[in-house]
Structure 1
Amino acid sequence: MTSTDSAVVKQLFFSALREKAIENTTLAAEFFDRVIQMDPSNDASLYELANIKKTKNNYSDAQELLEKAVTVNPDNEWYWTSLAECYEKNNGIDKLDNVFNELIRLNPDKPDYYYDKANAFFYQGKYDEALKVYDKLEGMIGPTDDILANRQKIYLKQNKTDLAAQQLEQMIASNPSEIKYYLFLSQLYSSNNMADKALKVLLTAEKLKPNNGLVHLALADIYREKNNIEASYNELTLAFAIPELDIEQKIKIILGYLPRFPDPNARASALELSRILIVAHPADSKAYAIYGDMLLQNEKLKDAKAMYQKSISLNNQVYEVQEQLVRIELGDGDFDGAIKDGENSLSLFPNQAWMNYLVGVAWLQKKDYHKAMDYIKNATSLELQDKDLLSQSFSSLGDCYHDLRDNKNSDDAYDKALTYNPDNAFTLNNFAYYLSLRGEELVKAAKMSKRSNELQPNNASFEDTYAWILFKQKDYAGAKLWIEKALADDKDKSAVKSEHYGDILFYLGNVDGAVENWKKAKDKGDKSPVLDRKINEKKYIE
C-alpha cells in the first residue's frame, strides 16, 4: 500500500469513527467497509463494522468479520469477547471452547472467562469437562456459592444426587453456622422426593438459628408436602413474625391463599398472617394495605377501613389502596368521608376514572347533582374502554338529570348506559320506573322492567316497578300479581308499595282493600296530601 493509500485509509477510518459517534451508523458502516476494501487486514475496521452489524441483529456477517479480525490480531480481548457473543447468537456453541481458551491465554486471572468456558461445556452436555474447569477455578479463587451452584446443576443433570448432597454436606461441615447451605441441601432433598431427609436438615438448621425466617418457610413447605397442614401453618406464623424476612415474600404467600378463599379456613389463615405482618413491619404501608385487603375479604369493613387509612398515612402514593378506602366509605354511607378521601386522592391522581366516578356518586348521594355530574363526566372522558365503568357512569348521569327534571338528557344517558351493558339491572329498573311515572314509552318500560326482574329475581323494588308499569298499562290483574310479589319480598315495609297496592286494588273494584292499604302507607310514614285525599275520598287520585 502506498503512503497515499495509507493516508486515505486513516482519513476514512477517522471519518467512520466520527459518524459512529453521532450515531450515523449507515455512513459509518460505508466508511469502514471502504477501509476494509483498501486494507483487508485492518482489524480495527473489521471489529467496528462487526459491531454495527450486531446493532442491526446481523450476527452472521458480524461473525465473519470478527473471525478475520482475530486472525489478524489474536491478542485483542475485545475481538474475542465480541466473537463469543456472535457464536452464542448463531448457535455456534461448539466454537466457544477455543474462544474462551484464547481469552484465558490473554487474561488468565479473570474468573469470568472460566465461568463462560464451563457454561459452554454445560450447554454442549460436556459435564465432566465443565467440572474440571470449576475445579481449576476453585483452585484459583477458592470455593464460592456460584461454583457450588453450578456444580450442583451439573450433578443433577448427571442424576448424581448423592454427589450433589455430598458436596453440600462438605460445605456445611466447613461452615456449620452458615444456614444457606442447610437450605440448599434441604431443597436438593425436597426436589428429589426425599422429604424426610430435607426435614432432618432443616430441623438442625432451626436449632442453630431459630430466628431465621427462610428456615421456617422451608419447614412450612416440607410439612405441607407431608400433609401436616397444622405444622406447616405454625411455621408460617413463626416466619411472618420475623422482621428481617422480606415483606414482599410474605405478601406473596398471603396472596397464594386467594384461590382457596371459598374455604373459610384459608380466609382465616390469610387474615391471621396479615395481622402478624403489621406487628413485624409496623412502619411499612404495604403491611397495612394487605391486612386491609384480607379484612375486606372477611367482611370486616370497619377494621379494613382503619388499615387502609393507616397505609395511606404511611405512603399516599399507592392509588389502589385509596380506591378501596373510598369504596368502603361509599358502601358504608359515609359520603362525606368518601368525598374528602376521594378528592384528596384525585389531587394526587387526577386522571383516575374510577375515583372520579366514586366521588361523583358520593356527591349524587348528597343530592349535589351539579358537582356529581362534573366528576362523573370526568370519568367518562378519562376512560373509553372499561364498559362497566361507562355503563355505571352514564346510568348515574341519568339519575342526576332525572333529579334535575331534565328528562331528555336523563333518557339519553340511560340509553347510552345500556349500550355499554344492556343487562345493567339497576339502569333498566330506574329508566323503566321514571318512564312509567311520566306515562311515556310504556312498552319499552315494560320490556326493560321485565328484563331487570329476570336478572335479579325477588327484588322487591324491581317487582314494584313492573307492577306499576302494568298498572299504567291498565293490566290491573297482572299489576296485582307483581305488587303482591313485591310486598312479599319487601324487607323494608315500604310505604310506596302499600300505596301502589291500594291504587291497583281500587281499579280492581276492591275499594275497602284500597283504603286499607292507603292507610298502611300513611302509617309507614307517607305524608303525601294526595294520599290523605285518597283515604278521605275513597278513590284513586293521580
Structure 2
Amino acid sequence: MKQKIYILIFIVGTFLLPQMNYAQVDFNKKPDDDLGVVEDAFQEQFYEALKQRGIENYDRSVTALLKCIELDNSVPVLYFELGKNYNQLKNFGAAEEAFKKAISKAPENEWFLDALYGFYIEQNDFDKAIKTVKELVKYHPDYKEDLAGLYLKTHEYDEALKLLDALDAEFGISVARDVMRNQIYAATGRKKDQIKNLESRVEDNPDKESNYLQLIYRYSENNEKEKAFETAQELLKVNPHSQVVHLALYKFYLDDDNAEKAIESMKIVVRSSEIKPEAKLKVLTDFVQFVSNNPQYEPDLVEATTLVSDSNNSKTLIELGQYYLSKNNKSKALGYFETALKIDSENFNVLRNVLLLYIDLQKFDVAEKRSNEVLQKYPAQPLFYLINGVALNQLNQPEKAIEILETGVDFVIDDTKMEIDFYKQLSLAYSAINNTAKAKTFSDKAIQLETEN
C-alpha cells in the first residue's frame, strides 16, 4: 500500500480550495450579504475541524465538519476528512461511508481512493481492498504489486502468479516479487513450476549469476543433485571467476569424495570478499569435519584458517578453537578462543574454555588474574571460584585459596564432580598451612562422594 502524508496546509491547498471553486466560495471575498455570512461560517468551521484533528480531538473535528456539510454538502474533501476522523474514533462503518461519499463526489481523486484502500487494509477486508486497488492501478502501475500481494492473502494464487509474471516481464525481476512468488509455490507445493520459472530465467538471462544460484538451490532442495551440479558447472562456464558458486560446488565434491576439488572450492569461499561470514562458517564447519575424518588434509585446513584468523567473525574463531581442542592442541585452541573473546567478551562458554585452558597449560598467574576479574561479573558461578582456587594453590597462596574455595563451594548445586574438586583443592590448601585435621576432613568428604557415585 502506498503511504500518503497528508499535511494540513497541503490538504487546504490541494483539496479545499479547488473544491471551493465548485461551490463558488471565495474566502478572500468580503461578506456583503447573507452569502458572505455563510462563507465565513463555512471557513471558520473547516479550520476548526483541522485544528481539532491536529490536537487529536477527533469528535470535535467531526462536529465541525458536519456543520460544514450542513452549509455546503457538495465539497468532497469534507467527507474525506470526516472519514479519517471516524476511523480514529473506531467508528469504522461511518468511516467507510464517508470515504465512499468523498469518492462518489470526486471519482478521479487518487488520494481519496488510496485512503479507502488503506482503510480496508487496516480492517483486513481484502476483498474490498482488491476492488479499490484495481481502481488505483489506473493511476500508478506500482499498485499492481499491491494487488498481487492481496491475491496472495486471499489465496487466489493463479491470479497472483499471472500478475507477477506480467510485472517481471515489464519491469524485470525484483526481490519483493520473488518473495511473494516463493510463498505461493510453498503454499501450493508447485516445486516443478518454481523450477520451470527459474530455468526460463537462466535461459533468458544466461549472464545473470543470481538466476543460476537460485536454480541450484531449488534443484538441491528438490533432491535433483545431478541437475544442481550441472547448473553449477554451467555457471562456471559463463562466469569462470564466480566465487559464490563454490558454496554449492564444495558440497557436491565432498559428496563425490573428490577431496582435491572440494578443498579448492572451500579455499575460494574462505578467501572471498563477496561471501557473508555466516556462509563461510558453514563451509569451515564442514571443512573441519572433513579433516577430522581425513587428517592427511590438515595442512589445507591450517592454510584455510590462516585466511580467516584475522576476520571479525567470532563464530568462525570458536569453531576453529573447538577443532584444535578436539585434536588436543590446547595451545592453538586457546589462541583462537582468546581472539574470539576479544570480539565477543560476553560469551560465557568461550570464557570458561579460556580459563580452563590457562589451568591445563599451567598459566596460573593469568588464570588467577582473569578468573578474579570474571568473578566480579559472575559472583554466583562456582567454576570460576574453583579455577581461582586451583591457580592460588599452584601459586603457593593457600590462605587466599581457602577463602575463595570455601566461598565458592556454597554455590555448587547438583554437580558432584565439581564438589569433589572443591574438596580436593581445600584439602590441598589446608595441607599447605599444616592444618592436617581440616585437610583430612575435606579429603574424606571427597573420597565419600567418589565412593557414593
TM-score range, shorter chain: 0.5 to 0.7
Look up the match of 1:243. Answer: 272
Aligned partner of residue 252 in structure 1, secondary structure:
helix
Q: Per the alignment, do residues 98 and 386 of structure 1 end up closer, same or farther by CA in structure 2, a change over 3 Å counting? A: farther
**Equivalent residues of 1:379, 1:393 under 8 A apart:** no
Match for residue 295 of structure 1 among 324, 338, 363: 324
Q: Per the alignment, do residues 108 and 5 of structure 1 end up closer, same or farther by CA in structure 2, a change over 3 Å counting? A: closer
Look up the match of 2:157. Answer: 127
CA RMSD of superposed structures (Å): 4.7
> 1:141: how far off?
2.6
Matching of residue 14 in structure 1 with residue 24 in structure 2? no
Structure 1: unaligned runs, 5 residues or longer: 20-26, 54-60, 339-356, 362-375, 457-542
Q: Per the alignment, do residues 387 and 42 of structure 1 end up closer, same or farther by CA in structure 2, a change over 3 Å counting? A: farther
Look up the match of 1:470. Answer: none
Q: Per the alignment, do residues 125 and 401 of structure 1 end up closer, same or farther by CA in structure 2, a change over 3 Å counting? A: same
**Equivalent residues of 2:42, 2:68 under 8 A apart:** no
> 1:319: how far off?
2.6
Q: Per the alignment, do residues 126 and 173 of structure 1 end up closer, same or farther by CA in structure 2, a change over 3 Å counting? A: same
CA distance in 2, matches of 1:399, 1:37: 87
Higher relative contact order (CA 8 A, sep 6+): 2
Aligned partner of residue 212 in structure 1, secondary structure:
coil
Matching of residue 100 in structure 1 with residue 91 in structure 2? no
Structure 2: unaligned runs, 5 residues or longer: 1-36, 70-77
Q: Per the alignment, do residues 453 and 99 of structure 1 end up closer, same or farther by CA in structure 2, a change over 3 Å counting? A: same
TM-score under structure 2 length normalisation: 0.66
**Equivalent residues of 2:382, 2:412 under 8 A apart:** yes
- After superposition, residues 482-501 of structure 1 pair within 5 angstroms as none
Matching of residue 332 in structure 1 with residue 361 in structure 2? yes
Look up the match of 1:477. Answer: none
CA distance in 2, matches of 1:429, 1:170: 71
> What does the per-residue CA deviation read over 1:409-460, in whole Å, with 9 as the maximum and x for residues that have no partner?
x46x54432221153222112334555742546895365232454499xxxx
Q: Per the alignment, do residues 267 and 104 of structure 1 end up closer, same or farther by CA in structure 2, a change over 3 Å counting? A: farther
TM-score under structure 1 length normalisation: 0.57
Aligned partner of residue 223 in structure 2, secondary structure:
coil
> What does the per-residue CA deviation read over 1:275-323, in whole Å, with 9 as the maximum and x for residues that have no partner?
42533x57534388354553344332334455567x58xx955436995
Look up the match of 2:31. Answer: none
Q: Per the alignment, do residues 49 and 70 of structure 1 end up closer, same or farther by CA in structure 2, a change over 3 Å counting? A: closer
- After superposition, residues 189-200 of structure 1 pair within 5 angstroms as 189-200=219-230
CA distance in 2, matches of 1:406, 1:193: 63
Match for residue 241 of structure 2 among 200, 208, 211: 211
Aligned partner of residue 137 in structure 2, secondary structure:
helix
Matching of residue 286 in structure 1 with residue 316 in structure 2? no
CA distance in 1, matches of 2:452, 2:112: 71
**Equivalent residues of 1:257, 1:270 under 8 A apart:** no
**Equivalent residues of 1:380, 1:393 under 8 A apart:** no
Look up the match of 1:173. Answer: 203
CA distance in 2, matches of 1:397, 1:316: 23
The amino acid across from 2:386 in the alignment is: Q
Q: Per the alignment, do residues 447 and 118 of structure 1 end up closer, same or farther by CA in structure 2, a change over 3 Å counting? A: same
- After superposition, residues 137-286 of structure 1 pair within 5 angstroms as 137-138=167-168, 140-142=170-172, 147=177, 150-151=180-181, 154=184, 161-222=191-252, 227-230=255-258, 233-234=262-263, 236-254=265-283, 256-257=285-286, 264-265=292-293, 272-273=300-301, 275-279=303-307, 284-286=311-313
Q: Per the alignment, do residues 9 and 217 of structure 1 end up closer, same or farther by CA in structure 2, a change over 3 Å counting? A: same
**Equivalent residues of 2:201, 2:211 under 8 A apart:** yes
Identity of aligned residues (%): 16
**Equivalent residues of 1:216, 1:236 under 8 A apart:** yes
Match for residue 359 of structure 1 among 357, 366, 369: 369
CA distance in 2, matches of 1:164, 1:448: 68
Matching of residue 418 in structure 1 with residue 409 in structure 2? yes
CA distance in 1, matches of 2:63, 2:297: 72
**Equivalent residues of 1:213, 1:240 under 8 A apart:** yes
CA distance in 2, matches of 1:82, 1:450: 79
> 1:118: how far off?
0.9
Look up the match of 2:445. Answer: 448
The amino acid across from 1:300 in the alignment is: N
**Equivalent residues of 1:241, 1:276 under 8 A apart:** yes
Look up the match of 1:534. Answer: none
CA distance in 2, matches of 1:267, 1:16: 74
CA distance in 1, matches of 2:360, 2:278: 32
The amino acid across from 1:319 in the alignment is: S
Q: Per the alignment, do residues 448 and 402 of structure 1 end up closer, same or farther by CA in structure 2, a change over 3 Å counting? A: farther
Larger radius of gyration: 1
CA distance in 2, matches of 1:220, 1:402: 53
> 1:144: how far off?
5.0
Look up the match of 2:15. Answer: none
